[in-house]
Amino acid sequence: MRVVTKTELAAHSKSGDTWIAIHGLVYDVTKFVPEHPGGGQLIEDVAGQDASDEFEDALHSVASREEEMITLKGILEGCEQQVDEYRKAGWDESQGIPDPEALARKTGMSIPPAATGLLVVGAVGAAVAAWLMTRSRK
Protein backbone atom coordinates (compact mmCIF):
# COMPACT_ATOMS: atom_id res chain seq x y z
CA MET A 1 0.00 0.00 0.00
CA ARG A 2 1.37 3.40 -0.90
CA VAL A 3 2.30 6.09 1.62
CA VAL A 4 0.31 9.34 1.44
CA THR A 5 2.14 12.43 2.66
CA LYS A 6 0.47 14.90 4.97
CA THR A 7 0.88 17.52 2.24
CA GLU A 8 -0.95 15.32 -0.26
CA LEU A 9 -3.72 14.64 2.26
CA ALA A 10 -4.11 18.37 2.94
CA ALA A 11 -4.41 19.04 -0.80
CA HIS A 12 -7.65 17.01 -0.85
CA SER A 13 -9.60 19.26 1.50
CA LYS A 14 -12.33 20.76 -0.62
CA SER A 15 -15.83 19.93 -1.71
CA GLY A 16 -15.65 17.52 -4.64
CA ASP A 17 -12.19 16.29 -3.59
CA THR A 18 -12.31 15.14 0.01
CA TRP A 19 -9.82 12.85 1.73
CA ILE A 20 -9.51 12.14 5.45
CA ALA A 21 -7.17 10.02 7.55
CA ILE A 22 -8.57 7.65 10.15
CA HIS A 23 -6.26 5.55 12.30
CA GLY A 24 -3.30 6.09 9.99
CA LEU A 25 -5.16 5.20 6.81
CA VAL A 26 -6.17 7.73 4.16
CA TYR A 27 -9.59 7.50 2.57
CA ASP A 28 -11.19 9.30 -0.36
CA VAL A 29 -14.67 10.09 0.97
CA THR A 30 -15.73 12.41 -1.86
CA LYS A 31 -18.61 10.20 -3.06
CA PHE A 32 -19.84 9.62 0.49
CA VAL A 33 -19.94 13.27 1.64
CA PRO A 34 -23.45 14.00 0.27
CA GLU A 35 -24.74 10.70 1.68
CA HIS A 36 -23.34 11.07 5.21
CA PRO A 37 -26.26 10.61 7.64
CA GLY A 38 -25.05 13.46 9.87
CA GLY A 39 -24.57 15.80 6.93
CA GLY A 40 -21.66 16.31 4.59
CA GLN A 41 -20.46 19.37 6.50
CA LEU A 42 -19.24 17.13 9.32
CA ILE A 43 -16.82 15.44 6.94
CA GLU A 44 -15.86 18.64 5.13
CA ASP A 45 -14.90 20.19 8.49
CA VAL A 46 -12.11 17.60 8.86
CA ALA A 47 -11.23 17.26 5.17
CA GLY A 48 -7.54 16.96 4.43
CA GLN A 49 -6.59 16.00 7.97
CA ASP A 50 -6.63 13.23 10.57
CA ALA A 51 -10.23 12.68 11.64
CA SER A 52 -9.68 9.67 13.93
CA ASP A 53 -10.94 11.37 17.09
CA GLU A 54 -13.99 12.82 15.37
CA PHE A 55 -14.80 9.46 13.79
CA GLU A 56 -14.57 7.58 17.10
CA ASP A 57 -16.37 10.31 19.06
CA ALA A 58 -19.38 9.71 16.79
CA LEU A 59 -19.48 6.02 17.84
CA HIS A 60 -19.69 4.71 14.27
CA SER A 61 -21.09 1.23 13.73
CA VAL A 62 -19.39 -1.73 12.09
CA ALA A 63 -21.44 -1.00 8.96
CA SER A 64 -20.07 2.56 8.93
CA ARG A 65 -16.53 1.19 9.06
CA GLU A 66 -17.30 -0.94 5.99
CA GLU A 67 -18.94 1.83 3.91
CA GLU A 68 -18.45 0.99 0.23
CA MET A 69 -18.57 4.61 -0.96
CA ILE A 70 -15.18 5.38 0.61
CA THR A 71 -11.94 4.36 -1.06
CA LEU A 72 -8.72 3.51 0.75
CA LYS A 73 -5.89 5.53 -0.83
CA GLY A 74 -2.96 4.52 1.37
CA ILE A 75 -1.18 4.83 4.69
CA LEU A 76 -0.57 8.28 6.14
CA GLU A 77 3.14 9.03 6.38
CA GLY A 78 4.46 8.22 9.83
CA CYS A 79 1.69 5.72 10.53
CA GLU A 80 3.21 2.66 8.90
CA GLN A 81 3.98 0.95 12.23
CA GLN A 82 0.47 1.68 13.56
CA VAL A 83 -1.12 0.06 10.50
CA ASP A 84 1.31 -2.86 10.73
CA GLU A 85 0.12 -3.43 14.32
CA TYR A 86 -3.49 -3.52 13.11
CA ARG A 87 -2.51 -6.16 10.54
CA LYS A 88 -0.72 -8.23 13.16
CA ALA A 89 -3.90 -8.06 15.25
CA GLY A 90 -5.93 -9.53 12.37
CA TRP A 91 -7.19 -6.43 10.55
CA ASP A 92 -6.96 -6.16 6.76
CA GLU A 93 -8.19 -3.69 4.17
CA SER A 94 -11.29 -5.75 3.37
CA GLN A 95 -12.60 -5.00 6.88
CA GLY A 96 -12.79 -1.26 6.26
CA ILE A 97 -11.80 1.29 8.87
CA PRO A 98 -10.05 -0.45 11.77
CA ASP A 99 -11.51 -0.39 15.26
CA PRO A 100 -8.46 -0.14 17.55
CA GLU A 101 -10.44 -0.80 20.73
CA ALA A 102 -12.01 -3.97 19.30
CA LEU A 103 -8.62 -5.15 18.08
CA ALA A 104 -7.14 -4.47 21.51
CA ARG A 105 -9.89 -6.46 23.24
CA LYS A 106 -9.54 -9.33 20.78
CA THR A 107 -5.77 -9.61 20.80
CA GLY A 108 -4.49 -7.78 23.85
CA MET A 109 -2.59 -5.26 21.72
CA SER A 110 -2.10 -1.85 23.27
CA ILE A 111 -4.57 0.88 22.41
CA PRO A 112 -3.00 3.75 20.44
CA PRO A 113 -2.24 6.92 22.45
CA ALA A 114 -5.20 8.87 20.99
CA ALA A 115 -7.68 6.24 22.18
CA THR A 116 -5.96 6.05 25.56
CA GLY A 117 -6.30 9.81 25.88
CA LEU A 118 -10.03 9.56 25.22
CA LEU A 119 -10.38 6.94 27.95
CA VAL A 120 -8.48 9.13 30.44
CA VAL A 121 -10.53 12.22 29.56
CA GLY A 122 -13.74 10.23 29.95
CA ALA A 123 -12.68 8.89 33.36
CA VAL A 124 -11.67 12.33 34.59
CA GLY A 125 -14.93 13.78 33.29
CA ALA A 126 -16.93 11.15 35.16
CA ALA A 127 -15.01 11.85 38.38
CA VAL A 128 -15.59 15.60 38.06
CA ALA A 129 -19.31 15.06 37.36
CA ALA A 130 -19.63 12.84 40.44
CA TRP A 131 -17.82 15.42 42.58
CA LEU A 132 -20.06 18.22 41.30
CA MET A 133 -23.16 16.15 42.05
CA THR A 134 -22.07 15.57 45.65
CA ARG A 135 -21.34 19.30 46.09
CA SER A 136 -24.73 20.30 44.71
CA ARG A 137 -26.51 18.14 47.28
CA LYS A 138 -25.01 20.03 50.22
Residues 63-88: tens digit of each pLDDT: 999 999 999 999 999 999 999 999 99
**C-alpha to C-alpha distance for 62 and 89, rounded to whole angstroms:** 17
Beta-carbon contacts of residue 118 (< 8 Å; ≥ 6 apart): 53, 56, 57
Across the beta sheet with 3-4, the strand order is 3-4, 71-76, 25-28, 17-22, 13-14
Q: What angle do CA 129, 132, 138 make, to 5 degrees?
A: 150
pLDDT at site 136: 55
Q: What is the pLDDT of residues 25-61, one digit of tens each?
A: 999 999 999 999 999 999 999 999 999 999 999 989 8
- φ and ψ at 128, to 5 degrees? -65, -45
Q: How many CB atoms lie within 10 A of CB 100?
A: 23
Q: Is the pLDDT of residue 105 over 50?
A: yes
Average pLDDT for residues 5-19, to the nearest whole number? 97
